[in-house]
Structure 1
Amino acid sequence: MPTPTTIDTAGLRLEFTRHGAQALATARTTLAALPHRPADLISDIVLNGSEGRPAWHTLSRLGASGLDAASQAAAEFLHAEHARMADWAESAVQDADGAGLHIIHLGAGGSETPMLALHTALSVLQSPRCAVHWVANLDGATLDAALRAADPARTWVLINSKSFRTQEVMRNADAVVRWLSGHLGAEAARRRLVALTANADLAQERFGMPATQVFRALPEIGGRFSVWSVHGLVLLLAFGRETVARLHAGARAMDEHFLSTPLDASAPGLMAGLSHAYRVRFGLPLLSIGLYGDAFGHMPLYLQQLLMESLGKSTSADGLLPVHVSGPAVISGVGTPVQHTYFQLLHQAAVPVFHEIVAVARPWHARLPEHLALLANALGQADALWNGKDASSWQTELIGQGMTPEAAAPAARHRACPGGRPSTFIWMDELSAYHLGALLALYEHRTVVEGWLYGINPFDQWGVELGKTLAARIEYALLAQDGQGLSAETAASLNYLRERYA
């Protein structure tokens, strides 16, 4: 069966027409040899070997079911917890009675990036029911701004951490609890806290919030895949049960396509196969993802995390062998502004880059001419990347404009774009909760399959742990003025800081 060049599924259209026959054939061959299958994601098979867990994020979509007793029980637990959380969210909004509810959302990494990306996109379509103040970094100015904007008596604090040990989240949570206690008293402050976690016991031990305000996740769902579980509570508060159900419906439609279609004919499978081919067969180190529309303003950070945290590994899934080629570095931004930042590199850099472009067919506003111009830019970039324009063509054109042949030759070389830079064009029929859900599920599945193709574990992220451990040691050294056990480079930096704080 030939590899499809266009796939329509779940309200998305993927055009693979700007890829060469060799890349498509390579992708299909590697996908055919893959020992994993999509259904592994809804079974009790241990896919996250370094942590000894299945990978159950697909089961957290509303309506999903498992293949075996353990995965089915997980699906039922996730759906029941989601329903309990949705009931609580509606009650919290109703109790505010139009008084202006505030949410302080404390997360980091996967407990923030997909929620923020979707909140930004959905806010274009409907006004959020509450003001959300996002605090992720250990930046006191951001925290202060959130506390200034929020009314403690009308604020819910969402502490979003799977382990309930994430350094940034816990430090910021301690500061917010002190702020609440100063305004409301310790007992009332605890009643304004909500925990979203797989470690419910630690949450209650640390902060003592009511048990009804601890919403339980499963450790088998990684942070960057967690928006569908209780970690996505902020979306229920901001947009309501119906909108979130449509998000889940779009993701489920993509799941059904992924689970029922051969990998070399499925949208996620072919995206993964091509990305793997460009890295392994053709040696291209960089993937660019351009999203056309400001509704996608926070999507680049989420996609960068999803892909690079999942695919940035150098050890095989079983931990026994080195892996010499893994996922690409990802640069991403929102067009057309991004065309004025790094697209110069895409068109003329000595090392080619491969691309994915996301655009929405129908406008979500009344300005059709501007929307058509936006789409023309997206298509123009894709064509320029693939077809290019060589120096000879430019030279002929410049001479025709009156330039001398002697001047036209170097000018043409400056303007030449070699082309041959492939891209997958992803159309969303419209900007809606359903289509956004399908888009996120597409990228989730594509990421998992690509990890399998490299032979790595796409569900862990041990590489981020060492820096966190060292940060805790360095912080202690700063406070205690003790540099023992630190590297010479860091000890020198601490001496500099002590001089500044003296």
Structure 2
Amino acid sequence: MKSIVPIHTRSWKKLEQHFHDIKHLHLVNLFENDTNRFKNFSFIFKKNLLLDFSKNRITHQTIKLLLNLVQEMNLSNEIQSMFSGKHINITENRPVLHVALRNRSNTPIFVNGLDIMIEVNLILKKMKEFSNKVIQGIWKGYSGKNITHVVNVGIGGSHLGPKMVVEALKPYHNHLKVSFVSNIDSTELFNVLKTCDYETTIFLISSKTFSTEETITNFKTLKNNFLKQCGDQNSIQQHFFAITVNESEAINLGIPKDNIFKLWDWVGGRYSVWSAMGLSVVLVIGFKNFCKFLQGAYDMDIHFKNEPFEKNLPIFLALIGVWYNNFFNSETEAILPYDQYLKYFPSYVQQSNMESNGKNIDRNGNLVSWNTGPIIWGEVGTNGQHSFYQLIHQGTRLIPCDFITSIISHNPLEQHHKILLSNFFAQTHALAFGEYFYNKNRFLSKSNFINKDMDFLKKFKFFKGNQPSNTLLFKKMNPYSLGILISLYEHKVFTQGVIFNVFSFDQWGVELGKNISNNILKKLLYNDCNLCYESSTQGLIDFYNFHNQ
């Protein structure tokens, strides 16, 4: 992977001048000057997704310069490097091949001379066979009862991806109940245990390394409680399963070898829902639906890999994000799904984006002097309208927004969905144009667009607009559509990582806190740590120890 400093490119310098020239342009002007702006600034993907990016503070020249930037940043070669299995995760010396997990063409992909699609398909076959046995009642619990409950135990990508997808595809669920445990806080595990019947529950211990403290602690507690009830070590084989790279450690901790679903080190945790990490998804929606989910992602993969940049959806989303983050200094992006089933999607994108591109060291090992990953946040549907939209509309920050919804509801009930969509369309309109189109159903002239003679109260009610957004409108949110959506954002993050000149596929920033916590735990458990901390941390530990005697 080349290391190119983005701010030293000719395109970046031209973008800086261009930004100076258009930064005060209002979206009203952009739409008035181009009556075909919607057509010119939107894409349709597979007759399934409409991406409207017309309500952004960009012109044709902006797009031209941004496309020149990705050319200068060598994006074509970077994409080819990822899809061909080169070791683009430089700091860990690994390929990055989550795209292989949904490679529906079965085209060989080689890592160290071996076609990894052989193993990928073997694990998919194992997932299919196991899920069919559980769903059909062939796989029994230790007492001979059918399995009715699946508990996924993981954290980070081993938790948030499966949890988000399971919730998003709720309309496709079968009879199985699925619960998730991630937090080390015993309250979460305690609440799940209250709903578990050990005779009819299986536990998926999802940990890439099988050494993650939260996951292994929760696993050991679950196993101890399970054995207290059934009293038979052999019963473990009917109820506990591991999804991991580290098979030997899973066996060492009591998981039978046949119950281990293999993962590979070229799969990052936050990109792993397509692998056996998605076993909870397969169990609850069935293998056929899971294949549709993979197909949607694969179709977006092929689009990203082969489509010209000027028609490439992930690249456009990425470039628009860079435009705001680095030239407008927006700092944040809001993900706003108008679909209750997508309530965990903002958190999923938050992890995918911020863990990937939240870096301050470039590929040369130097501190960056440009903005890298933005702060991602959001909320579902009209809930947000009655919360933080006030700040987006009338606050002092520029907050680019992605609005996501579907034309067809899974749960049509009277006029609910039409009301939801009316809010969806209204918000993108109001953010963009403010009061311009909303004054007694007639246009305001440019001269009184900002009326300096407004009375006192009108000043507080005034909406200036010019707040940018993308609109992603799906026909229906089904397994195929969800695959498209997730893959779209994955490739957006990848593209931005290339532009930011950072390594997107490691996450060293989470390690320091883990290491310090291990030492502090010794102090809390045994007062057995010679390390001294500054007065605040030491004072907090001392206060805890004093009151916990």
Q: Percent identity?
A: 25
With the length of structure 2 as denominator, give the TM-score of the two structures: 0.84
Listed as ranges, the matches of 1:72-471 within 5 Å are 73-93=115-135, 94-95=137-138, 99-123=146-170, 125-191=171-237, 192-207=239-254, 209-367=255-413, 369-389=415-435, 409-471=455-517
Give distance in 1, aligned partners of 2:279 and 2:233: 23
Instruction: Give the structure-1-normalised TM-score.
Output: 0.92
Give the Å deviation of 1:104.
Answer: 1.6
- Which residue identity does 1:128 align to in structure 2? N
Q: Deviations over 1:222-244 (max 9, x none)?
A: 01100001110001111111110
Paired with 1:406 and 1:460, the residues of 2 have a C-alpha distance of 52
Aligned-residue offset at 1:485: 1.6
CA distance in structure 2 between the partners assigned to 1:188 and 1:302 by the alignment: 37
Q: CA RMSD in A?
A: 2.5
Deviation of 1:189 after TM superposition, in Å, equals: 4.3
3-state DSSP of counterpart to 2:531 = coil
Which of 74, 87, 95 pairs up with 1:46?
Answer: 87
Q: Structure 2: 5+ residue runs without aligned partners? A: 1-36, 444-450
Contact 2:108 2:115 in 1 (8 A): no
- Indicate which of 51, 57, 77 corresponds to 1:14: 51
Bigger mean CA deviation after superposition, 30-39 or 339-348: 30-39
1:139–1:437 Cα change, 3 Å: same
Tell me the CA shift for residue 481 of structure 1.
Answer: 2.5
Q: Distance in 2 between matches of 1:486 and 1:85?
A: 49
1:105–1:68 CA distance, 2 compared to 1 (3 A) = closer
Runs of 4+ in 1 over 6 A off after TM superposition: none
**Which one-letter code corresponds to 2:503 in the other structure?**
N
Amino acid at match of 1:6: S
Moved more, 229-238 or 65-74: 65-74
Match status 1:57 vs 2:98: yes
The alignment of Structure 1 onto Structure 2 pairs a total of residues equal to 491
Q: 2:318–2:492: 8 Å Cα contact kept in structure 1?
A: yes
Matched residue of 1:331: which SS?
Answer: strand
1:96 CA displacement: 5.0
* Residues 482-491 or 304-313, more deviating: 482-491
Aligned amino acid, residue 274 of structure 1:
I
Q: Is the 8 A contact 1:27 1:264 kept in 2?
A: no
Once the two structures are superposed, residues 446-479 of structure 1 have per-residue CA deviations (whole angstroms, 9 ceiling, x without a partner) of 1111111111111111111111111111111111
How far residue 256 of structure 1 moved from its aligned partner, in angstroms, is 1.6
Query: Per the alignment, do residues 318 and 53 of structure 1 end up closer, same or farther by CA in structure 2, a change over 3 Å counting?
Result: farther
Q: Which stretch of structure 1 is more off in the superposition, 360-369 or 44-53? A: 360-369
Distance in 2 (alpha carbons) for counterparts of 1:310 and 1:495: 36
SS of 2:92's partner is coil
Deviations along 1:397-441, whole A, 9 cap, x unmatched? 9xxxxxxx9995222221222221111100111121111111111
Partner of 2:73: 34
5+ residue gaps, structure 1, are 398-404
